[in-house]
Structure formats: C-alpha cells, structure tokens
Amino acid sequence: MLPEMPLLHATRRNFLKTATMAAACLPLAGWLPRTLRAAEPGRKLGFALVGLGSLSTHQIAPALLNTRYCRLAGIVTGTPAKAKRWQAQYNLPDKSIYNYETMDRLADNPDIDVVYVVTPNALHAEHTIKAAQAGKHVLCEKPMEVSSEKCQQMIDACRKAGRQLAIGYRLHFEPNNRECVRLAREKVFGGLKIIQAGFGFKIGDARQWRLRKALSGGGPLMDVGIYALQATRYLTGEEPLLISATSTTTDHLKFAEVEESLVWQATFPSGIIANCSTTYSVGGIKGYRAYAENGWFGLDPAYEYTGQKGLRSDGQTIALPPVDHFAAQMDNFAQCIFENRPTPVPGEEGLRDLRVMTAIYESVRTGKTVKLG
C-alpha cells in the first residue's frame, strides 16, 4: 500500500509516523477500510458547494458523481441564474439553494453534512466560519486564505464547532505523486539533495479576480506556485528553514497589483535545496524533479487535473493508473468523518503553506533571505 501524504512536520521521522497513522484513510478502490463498509452501508455525505465558478462547474460537481461516499446536496451562489441552472441540472430541492447572505440557514438542513468552499481566496475565511457556525464540516480549496491570521481563525472556528476542516490538496490522493513520495521516503536513489519544481501558465483575461490582490492575496504563487511549494514539502517531509526569492513584472498594466513571475530557493533542515518557479506569463512549467545521491526521479506534468507521468534515472517510467483527484479527495474526507479520524490535510497544513508563502513575499520585498521557525 502506498503511503498517504499527510501533514508535513520538520522531520522525516514525524512524516513516517503520521503517514502510517493516516494510511487507513486512503480513498482509492480496493483500499477502503472494512469498518466503513460495515458501519455505513449505502451512506453518502451531502456536500454543498459554495461558489459555482469554473472549478465547481467543470471539476468538482462532475467528480461528485464519481464518488462512493458523497453526493451534491446543496449550492451557495450570489448569481440567481446559476442557482436556477444548477438546481435543474442536479435536481436540487428549493431548501438546498442558498446565497452568501443566507448561509446561516445551512444549520437547518440535515441533508448537508459538508460545505466545500470554492470562492476567491480572500473569502475563504468568511465562508468557512459561516459553515462551521452552521454545524457543517468544511473542505476548503487551496490556498487556505491570504494571511496566517485568517487561516488561524478558520481553524479556531471549526475546532469550536467540533467539525473537521480539510484543505483541498488533491495531489495528496494522486497515485503518481504518492509514488514519488515513496521513492523519496524509502531512499530508493539515496538521500535527496536538490529539487527543481515549478508551475506556471499564461493567464488570460486581465479583469479576472486572480489579478486583483484584494481577492487573490497575490499572483501565481498563491494560485499555482503553491503546488510546487507543496511538492518540495511532501518530497522532503520537512519544513523549509531559509527562503530567498525574487519576482519580476514586464506587463505593468496587466500585473499592476500582483507579481507576474516569481522564483524562490528553499533550504530544508537536512540540507536539501529546492529551486522553484511560478509564473502567469508562459506555459510549459508544470513538474518537478528530485535529485538524490544515486539518481533522480520526477513528474511532468505533476500538478494538473489529469495526465500525471514521470521518469526515473534508472530508465523506469512512473505511470500509475489515474484517478479522479477531486473524487478521491472528497471520498477520503467522507471516510475520515464517518470514522471520526482526523483528515490528513487539515487546516494546519494550509497554515504552514501560508507561512512559507508569506516568507517568500517578504524576501521579494526586502531582498533578503528570510529565516523560518
């Protein structure tokens, strides 16, 4: 059985211990715990999607149809036309249609167990806290929020409500990424030394919310760069100690509020160095390669919704059977709720990423290396 990629602490020993404990929460077919099958025959948790943009429309809602333990049970949107269209498409009752001002009424709907927050980054805390106060578990898209303070507010609200908070790190449930973690963890090519990781694309419409700092919290780092950051953390099993970063902008009109491209170097406690990049100006940057004492391995593409594949320095390919990332993620969360197990990707994991990204932006701003921890 491949290890789950759980929360990452400062040492490999902690990673291994947590991975062993979390392995029972694996969502993939054939690896489902017997206790869940016995305790919850036919039971599906009702999910309400908050925010009906492209990700909900094209990825999450279709994925719900592929889950074993979840179902679409409600929606929250500020656009009446979307509400009407979704209600008809998914046969949702009137009582399960909400707008952002009526989210408190979720408390009166027992058909909804989990709220999946898919709104712009700077609204995640507001909607997570409302969902927790309504007594619902929360799955929140990454990045968790735009500041560490807001992340902590989300954690506190869910803890106070006695509900779980998971962050949408779907690649923790993707087999090829998990295989690379196995290669690193078992030191198949020896200890890791250097990691190259990056993710970027050429962004389109200049009017979209991703280019408005008040909603996004930043540019490509907050959007896709976080995947490269995550990769360095789950490959090493460590938290970075030192961050050095720089950013550039060539189109000052389009990127008036956020960075266009950004690169950073992270140094980890064991001495591993990660060189990372993210951009909104070009495509083709979409993978990682980990260099070890006796070889290398990596994925390209590594982070996209489908198509993960990779190579090893011994000539073998990395090409495990694909899964629906979002379905696997939601089924995992459902299983953890059913069994009263902690999610392997809780709010604390999102908070750790925010702290590192804050250090990256601080290094860009000051031109100095930032020490973490």
Cα-to-chain-centroid distance, residue 139? 10
Which 8-state DSSP code applies to residue 173? Answer: G
Q: Which two tokens stand for residue 145?
A: 């929020």
Please pick, among 136, 142, 150, 286, the residue that the annotation labels catalytic.
142
> Is 142 an active-site residue?
yes
Q: What is the token pair recorded at 25?
A: 């929460």
> Which residues touch 35 (CB under 8 Å, ≥6 apart)?
339
Length of the chain, in residues:
373
Strand ranges (E), the chain: 45-50, 70-76, 97-98, 114-117, 137-140, 165-167, 192-200, 242-248, 261-267, 273-279, 286-292, 295-299, 310-312, 317-318, 370-371
At 149 the pLDDT is 98
* Phi/psi-derived region of residue 217, left when phi > 0, alpha when psi is between -120 and 50, beta in every other case: left
Rounded-to-integer distance, Cα 144 and Cα 330, Å: 17
Rounded mean pLDDT for each run of 10 residues along the chain, 373 residues in total: 40 35 32 34 90 98 98 98 98 98 98 98 98 98 98 98 98 98 98 98 96 98 98 98 98 98 98 98 98 98 98 98 98 97 98 98 98 92
| Residue 53 DSSP code | S
What separation in angstroms does the CA of 20 have from each of 4, 319, 326, 347?
8, 24, 23, 20
Name all domains of the chain by residue range, CATH numbers in brackets. 12-170+329-337+340-346 (3.40.50.720), 171-322+352-371 (3.30.360.10)
The helix/strand/coil state of 299 is strand
Q: How far apart are CA 8 and CA 95, in angstroms?
A: 40
Among candidate residues 69, 227, 280, 303, the one labeled active-site is 227
Cα–Cα distance for residue pair 198/276, rounded to 1 Å? 5
Cα distance between residue 156 and residue 160, in whole Å: 6
Q: How far apart are CA 57 and CA 232, in angstroms?
A: 30
What is residue 113's predicted lDDT score, i.e. its pLDDT? 98
Is 213 marked active-site?
no
Q: What is the pTM of this model?
A: 0.90
The residue type found at 217 is: G
Rounded CA-CA distance 288/268 in Å is 17
* Predicted local confidence at residue 40, as pLDDT: 54
Closest among 171, 174, 185, 172 to 292, alpha carbons compared: 185
* Residue type (1 letter), 338: F
CA-to-CA distance for 273 and 359, rounded, in angstroms? 16
What is d(CA 192, CA 194) in angstroms, rounded to the nearest whole number? 6
Other beta carbons less than 10 A from residue 300's beta carbon = 16
Residues 142/167, Cβ–Cβ less than 8 Å: yes
Between the CA atoms of 338, 24, 318 and 234, what dihedral angle is there, to the nearest 10 degrees? Answer: 90
Q: Measured between alpha carbons, how far is 273 from 275 in angstroms, rounded to an integer?
A: 7
Report residue 4 as tokens.
């789950």
Burial class (CB in 10 A: 0-12, 13-18, 19+), 344: buried
DSSP 341: P
